[in-house]
């Protein structure tokens, strides 16, 4: 358990002690539907969870929407999201917050003696606005406040997300092709003590294809210049009737519990994801499962309401 805890903290807590990239929790993603499709959501985002993937997707909403997600990660780490969006005069306005809590951690002195317990947490609050410029083009932006803390040390920053989506409605074929692009976490780094680390700047491009039989395919390519890594995500969703959906996806480089598939102790299935979705009138319930070997399987639950 101690190895699991140390590995998770090294991947998710601020990188102040080692420099490089920090605020890794911003890469976890929100919404069980998106995660159940492997994170291939840049072109498909069409709900309040668009705040965490592509802000342009907020403009798909023509009603108010409230959404929440909860996930239990390894080592008593909890990850939560809540968001609200509603149409306004010039588009759709959304606000959301994510919170990652690492619980009580055991402190040690330089000699290895116990020094008591301490906590670590990460938070981000986003305010987004998206507009539909014509029948197919949507543009959006988020401004967010980010804060990370470990023991009695904290750091904070601001960042900007930009995104666009386009539906190719004039293309011949049985389905509707969708395109999406986004740039996330544009902003200054976070300074812990005398060490400054960069935010996880992410550039993404995605395509989606919706067939009239209820089948949707999606693919994303993401690149992070600060950490010099890239990933390819693919996902599919099959809607059975009007109120039930099956989902599956795969992401290279990292599993969608926020950790790398190449790290020691991970299952060969790291990177795969599956999910389910239920709808009843104005309400929705979504579930996603991602395996991660010794780090523990991660389950996400999302609730949503539109009115």
Could you read off the pLDDT of 252-289 as tens digits, one per residue?
865 334 444 443 444 456 789 999 999 999 999 999 99
Sign of CA dihedral 257, 262, 268, 273: positive
Longest distance between any two alpha carbons in the chain, whole Å: 69
Task: Indicate which CATH number applies to the domain containing 41.
Answer: 2.40.160.60
C-beta neighbour count of 216 within 10 angstroms = 22
pLDDT of residue 259: 45
C-alpha distances (whole Å) from 182 to each of 14, 43, 45, 200, 207 are 24, 9, 11, 13, 12
pLDDT band at 2 (very low <50, low <70, confident <90, very high): very low
- Total domain count, the chain: 1
C-beta neighbour count of 42 within 10 angstroms = 32
Q: For the whole model, what pTM was predicted?
A: 0.85
**Residue-wise pLDDT tens digits, 110-137:** 666 666 677 788 999 999 999 999 878 9
pLDDT of residue 135: 79
**Residue-wise pLDDT tens digits, 214-231:** 999 999 999 999 988 899
pLDDT of residue 269: 62
- Whether residue 51 contacts residue 43, with contact meaning beta carbons closer than 8 Å, is answered with no
More confident residue, 66 or 295: 66
Burial 244-268 (b: 16+ CB within 10 A, else e): ebebbbbbebbbbbbbebebeebee
Name which of 305, 303, 261 is nearest 283 in CA terms: 305
pLDDT band at 6 (very low <50, low <70, confident <90, very high): very low
Instruction: Examine the pLDDT at 290 and tell me if it is beyond 60.
Output: yes
Mean pLDDT of the chain: 85
Residue 228 CB-half CA count within 13 A: 1
Q: What DSSP state is assigned to residue 60?
A: G
Question: Which residues have a Cβ under 8 Å from the Cβ of 16 and sit 6 or more positions away?
Answer: 22, 150, 153, 155, 190, 192, 193, 195, 197
State the Cα–Cα distance between residues 63 and 295, nearest whole angstrom.
39
- Domain of 208? 2-306
């Amino acid at each position: 358990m101690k190895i699991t805890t140390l590995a998770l903290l090294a991947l998710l807590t601020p990188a102040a002690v080692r420099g490089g990239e920090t605020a890794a929790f911003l890469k976890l993603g929100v919404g069980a539907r998106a995660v159940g499709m492997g994170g291939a959501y840049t072109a498909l985002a069409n709900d309040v969870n668009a705040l965490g993937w592509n802000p342009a997707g907020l403009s798909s909403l023509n009603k108010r929407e409230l959404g929440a997600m909860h996930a239990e990660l390894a080592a008593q780490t909890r990850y939560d999201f809540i968001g609200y969006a509603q149409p306004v005069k010039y588009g759709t306005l959304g606000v959301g917050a994510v919170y990652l809590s690492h619980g009580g951690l055991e402190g040690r002195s330089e000699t290895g003696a116990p020094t008591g317990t301490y906590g670590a947490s990460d938070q981000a609050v986003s305010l987004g606005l998206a507009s539909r410029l014509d029948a197919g083009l949507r543009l959006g932006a988020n401004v967010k406040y980010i804060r990370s803390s470990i023991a009695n040390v904290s750091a904070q920053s601001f960042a900007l997300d930009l995104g666009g989506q386009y539906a190719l409605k004039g293309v011949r074929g049985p389905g509707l092709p969708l395109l999406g692009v986004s740039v996330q976490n544009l902003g200054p780094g976070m300074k812990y003590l005398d060490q400054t680390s960069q935010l996880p700047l992410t550039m993404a491009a995605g395509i989606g294809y919706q067939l009239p039989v209820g089948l949707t395919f999606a693919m994303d390519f993401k690149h992070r210049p600060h950490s010099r890594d890239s990933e390819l995500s693919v996902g599919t969703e099959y809607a059975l009737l009007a109120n039930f959906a099956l989902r599956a996806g795969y992401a290279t480089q990292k599993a969608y519990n926020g950790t790398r598939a190449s790290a020691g102790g991970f299952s060969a299935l790291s990177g795969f994801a599956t999910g389910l979705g239920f709808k009843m009138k104005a309400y929705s319930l979504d579930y996603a499962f991602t395996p991660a070997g010794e780090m523990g399987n991660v389950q996400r639950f999302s609730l949503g309401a539109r009115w």
